[in-house]
Each structure stands twice: as structure tokens, then as C-alpha cells.
């Protein structure tokens, strides 16, 4: 059984991020992809590793930074549910409403 699951929005976020990075460097995109997978595994093993951000959303999700991105996930699900993968420059509060 998988220890984490990406919802469709998170899969779309990942695709867009990696495609954007790959325009400049496929190698960099692959490194970022691998790092995201490492963090997803870390969060699955340690769901309380992230932190809540009441200033961004009232939803019961946690946040974990990866480079200039935020992994948004639900720690109370089994498997851990990756809800979004957002860039730090995005309006995270508006996206998570």
C-alpha cells in the first residue's frame, strides 16, 4: 500500500513545476522531482513534520517547504494525502480557499 497519494491538483502542480524548470535544465527538473519524492516519503513516515498555517487557510492541512515551493498535505489521512505543491510566489491563501 502506498504511503502517500497525490490528488489530481497536486499532480498537475508537479507537472507544471517540472515542465517550467525543464525549459532551462532537464537535469535540474529531475533533481527537483527526486527531492519532491524524498520529501513525500519523509512526510509519509513523519506526518507531523510540517506545520499548520492558520494565516493561509483554515483547512486542516500542513505545510512543508521544498526549495521555493510548499508541499501542502493532509497528515490525518492514510496514506498521507498531498493536496498541492505550490510556488512560494503564488497566492497560497487564495488557492487554498
Residue 24 is predicted with a pLDDT of 97
Rounded Cα distance between 27 and 35, Å, is 12
pTM of the model: 0.92
Give the chain's domains with CATH numbers: 4-95 (3.30.2310.20)
Residue 12 is predicted with a pLDDT of 97
In the predicted structure, residue 1 carries a pLDDT above the cut 70: no
C-alpha cell at 17: 513545476
Rounded Cα distance between 27 and 49, Å, is 28
**pLDDT tens digit sequence for 39-92:** 999 999 999 999 999 888 888 999 999 999 999 999 899 999 999 999 988 888
Rounded Cα distance between 54 and 6, Å, is 22
Amino acid at each position: 500500500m502506498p504511503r502517500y497519494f497525490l490528488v489530481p491538483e497536486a499532480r498537475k502542480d508537479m507537472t507544471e513545476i517540472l515542465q517550467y524548470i525543464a525549459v532551462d535544465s532537464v537535469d535540474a527538473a529531475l533533481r527537483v522531482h527526486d527531492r519532491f519524492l524524498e520529501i513525500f516519503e519523509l512526510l509519509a513516515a513523519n506526518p507531523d513534520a510540517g506545520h499548520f498555517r492558520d494565516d493561509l487557510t483554515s483547512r486542516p492541512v500542513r505545510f512543508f517547504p521544498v526549495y521555493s515551493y510548499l508541499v501542502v498535505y493532509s497528515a490525518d489521512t492514510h496514506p498521507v494525502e498531498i493536496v498541492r505543491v505550490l510556488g512560494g510566489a503564488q497566492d497560497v491563501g487564495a488557492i487554498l480557499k
